[in-house]
Structure 1
Amino acid sequence: MLPLKQFQDFIEQEDLFKKGNRILLAVSGGKDSVLMLHLFKAIGIDVGVAHCNFNLRADEAQRDENFVKMLAHSLSLPFYVTHFDTKKYAAEHKISTQMAARDLRYNWFETISIKEGYDFIALAQHRNDAVETVLINLVRGTGISGLHGILPKRNKLIRPLLFLNRDEINQIIDDNHINFVEDSSNASTNYLRNKLRLDVIPHLKQMNPNLEQTFAQNIARFADIEAFLSLHIEELKANLIVEKPDGAYIAIDDIKCLKPQKLLLYELLKPFGFIEQVVEEIIAGLDKQSGVKFLSQNCQAIIDRNNLIVSKIKPNDNRHILIHSNENSFEFNGNLFEFSFSDNLRFDNNKHKIFTDANLLLFPLIVRNWQNGDKFIPFGMRGFKKISDFFIDEKVPLHLKSSIPILVNGNGDIIWIAGMRQDNRYKLSKSTKKVAIFELKIK
């Protein structure tokens, strides 16, 4: 007899899917996935069968494909199959064959489920798989999420066999005379999972014959701990992170009060891509001078006075551009400017717009980023001031300094720190005949 009641109870207990949902079954042809297929068919769920041929085991892979195809047809179920050049994909992406196969199949399952209208994708992983996953994560190093291993449900992926262990599956297959195909690679110790399965776990089971049940209980506890931590992190994000247009601000004093500091800061910064090692460096640098920068793949974190400021790294293709006298608009680093001439000698008090003496301009003008050593005469003053000092006086965050456009005359004079201050040498005067107007448009 098939364990239909246990199967249905587990589906209901874990809320894997609702009545009327369509389920795409990932079926390799092995015992686990074939049993899953028969269980779904027996309880009358609308399912389809998806099979991946990774072209890694020559004739055996083709045998598996043929078996699953015939099984699906014998049960009058939709059948979907695809072929992958797994080794080529692994080489191109510089990953292991196992990781390549994982990426390929999950991406294809998602594509098929969307195209064919399936609500969930069912994978035939069981309790032993969960044990092996936790051990692999521990061997490689993991956080709390790695301790719960594989979950019964995550987004569209469901694992309805996690109530069974491998021995139970073998017994059900034998008792019900269910046909399957055996993957010869399961007996190889070339893969870490197989080494654990064949060499390590048998010794652990000598110490604890109920190893799978114990791990299932531990996994449930770890999942609860992760859920609790996630709630706490969301509260910390709401209280500590201040979102501004230029980035996320976290007060350094608040970071110093975190306990446990490393764990909580890592969780706060994880969405920005910062790894544990960089978080350690950030903690060590909290008392260093402003300007210390830490990088993830797409973001930067800068210690700036009393805050840690996290912002996205923007491609800075426009190191400089030339502006000719016949242009009426231009863009620089995502900023839009309008440029015009006027005979009307007027002046608006607007830091996003400047009115300059057109006769003093030497075209082409240059718009570029700030450079060390830049100086100008701020409007209303007589002496030169370094722009770096001006930024400090204006409390410009360090991570924004290099993105503020600088308008430069053809003779090298700085005309305008866009959106902030005009140079006094280029203001309108009694001798001005024609006005050049530059405006930074605020989006």
Structure 2
Amino acid sequence: MLNAFQHHINQNFPFLQHHRCLLAVSGGIDSMVLVALCRQLDWTVGVAHCNFGLRGAESDEDEIFVREYCRENRIPFFVNRFNTAVFAEEKGLSIQMTARQLRYDWFETLRVREGYDYVLTAHQADDVLETFLINLTRGTGWDGLTGIPAQNGTIVRPLLPFSRSTIENYAAEYLISWREDSSNGNSYYQRNALRHEVVPVLKSMNPALLENFQKTLSYLQETKTLADWAVAHFLEQHLSQHGNEFHLAIHPLNSVPSSRALLYYWLRNYGFTAWEDIYQLPYAETGKQVLAPDFILFKNRTHLVLAARHEPRLAVYTIDRTQLHLNFPLKLTFCNVSDIQNVSSSTIFVDADLLEYPLTLRKWQEGDLFHPFGLQGTKKLSKFFKDEKFSLTDKERQWLLCSGNKIVWVIGQRADDRFKVTEQTQTILKITLSE
């Protein structure tokens, strides 16, 4: 497995070998094998362990096991103890969803604070199959059928091509110890029921199940890529922005083979749930509308119009640390880079460690001050607008990206000097405005 893992890294994630990686380690066999593989390749790693406190003493024993392993092997160890059940009740989420949110939020905070470049998790091929089957039974679209992504921003899953049996054989060969989660044997949970009762039957019917499934997954991913390209191409041609509204032409929409799918992929991230009403909207009378918590979609003669439900001057949008894209009311992308290139009015580079999350996107307010990039001291935003000969409409349309009560960027105009990249900067964040 070691040679196969090295080949996989060389082919797909060569950058990992030259960066600091934070490993998410539960103490189970998958994560302990991931640690062992990284150590054999002599990577610079640290270990992050989540104690969700859901199994009493067993959870604490898992923590002790991982801690002792890291101490013996001189690996930096980080732990967070969560009151998961209380948090789940407060947020109205399932325990599983709560644990997922808690761990990924903490991983990102820890990665930035401790100077790691990537977070590695130990998801493997059987996990992907189980997730596929779970989503299939619940009813899903492309996203639920195309598997767990191998990389999502700074999250990387390098064990996805390897089966559970391959990992078990490696652990046996190298005498790797691990902790067995007692809840894994409880078929009350859907994933465990699939793992113990359904997948073994499928494998007995076809011993090459995982290999064939990965081929199918590859075909689905390629088809999804094509579908995503087609949707993006259509929207680029027929979706236009007018101030704070987006207008989609109805006639070309009705000419595509599956307008329902196109509407879904355009609007899926805006909080809408009344999909049948949306699908009928192109054929409804002018003025017909569908509401989401923060947005409204309505028909205006020859177009569908998407707009925020709140008065634009008062609208405030938040951007989490892990968010790589913002699609409304502006299109912003965020990514870490190693150096500064191609600075323009639509692209800025800032010191990521100086930012306070969540970032906010809002309109300007009377009394706003900022430190124009390259200049000494503060300047009133109203004076900046006057100097730049902004019209009243220009001022009303101007958006600000803010960190706490500080302006990071008068978007499309001028960055704030307080967040500039210096020789002391460790993490450079590139922020881009797209049309």
The 2-side partners of 1:71 and 1:108 are apart by: 21
- Give the equivalent residue in structure 2 for 1:114: 112
- Give the equivalent residue in structure 1 for 2:193: 195
The one-letter code of the counterpart of 1:259 is: P
Where 1:174 maps in the other structure, the secondary structure is helix
- Give the equivalent residue in structure 1 for 2:3: 5
- Give the equivalent residue in structure 2 for 1:101: 99
The one-letter code of the counterpart of 2:257 is: K
Cα RMSD for the two superposed structures: 2.3
- Give the equivalent residue in structure 2 for 1:181: 179
Q: Aligned runs of 1:411-430 on 2, under 5 Å?
A: none
Equivalent in 287, 292, 295 of residue 296 of structure 1: 292
Answer yes or no: is the 8 Å Cα contact 1:14–1:152 preserved in 2: no
Cα 1:121/1:336, change in 2 over 3 Å: closer
Q: Aligned runs of 1:120-159 on 2, under 5 Å?
A: 120-159=118-157
- Give the equivalent residue in structure 1 for 2:302: 306
The 2-side partners of 1:122 and 1:18 are apart by: 10
Cα 1:315/1:91, change in 2 over 3 Å: farther
Deviations 1:322-373 (A, max 9, x none): xxxxxxxxxxxx8999xxxxxxxxxxxxxx9xxxxxxxxxxxxxxxxxxxxx
The 2-side partners of 1:336 and 1:105 are apart by: 37
- Give the equivalent residue in structure 1 for 2:85: 87
The one-letter code of the counterpart of 1:148 is: T
Larger radius of gyration: 1
Deviations 1:269-313 (A, max 9, x none): 2243334x42x3123232322111111232111111111111111
Where 1:29 maps in the other structure, the secondary structure is coil
Q: Aligned runs of 1:5-404 on 2, under 5 Å?
A: 5-15=3-13, 17-275=15-273, 277-278=274-275, 280-314=276-310
Cα 1:43/1:292, change in 2 over 3 Å: same
The 2-side partners of 1:238 and 1:189 are apart by: 47
Consecutive unaligned residues of structure 2, counting only runs of 5 or more, are 315-362, 367-391, 393-435
Answer yes or no: is the 8 Å Cα contact 2:84–2:99 preserved in 1: yes
TM-score normalised per structure 2:
0.70
Answer yes or no: is the 8 Å Cα contact 1:23–1:47 preserved in 2: yes
The 1-side partners of 2:93 and 2:49 are apart by: 22
- Give the equivalent residue in structure 2 for 1:343: none
Q: CA deviation at 1:132?
A: 0.3
Deviations 1:59-85 (A, max 9, x none): 111111011001111111110001000
Where 1:257 maps in the other structure, the secondary structure is coil
- Give the equivalent residue in structure 1 for 2:370: none
Q: Point out the more displaced range, 224-233 or 13-22.
A: 13-22
The 1-side partners of 2:78 and 2:251 are apart by: 56
The 1-side partners of 2:268 and 2:106 are apart by: 28
Consecutive unaligned residues of structure 1, counting only runs of 5 or more, are 319-333, 338-351, 353-443
Cα 1:66/1:233, change in 2 over 3 Å: same
Cα 1:26/1:80, change in 2 over 3 Å: same
Answer yes or no: is the 8 Å Cα contact 1:266–1:274 preserved in 2: no
Cα 1:272/1:95, change in 2 over 3 Å: closer
Answer yes or no: is the 8 Å Cα contact 1:120–1:158 preserved in 2: yes
Where 2:180 maps in the other structure, the secondary structure is coil
Where 1:181 maps in the other structure, the secondary structure is coil
Where 2:236 maps in the other structure, the secondary structure is helix
Where 1:272 maps in the other structure, the secondary structure is coil
The 2-side partners of 1:177 and 1:335 are apart by: 61
Cα 1:112/1:246, change in 2 over 3 Å: closer
Q: CA deviation at 1:148?
A: 1.3
Q: CA deviation at 1:16?
A: 6.2
The one-letter code of the counterpart of 2:45 is: V
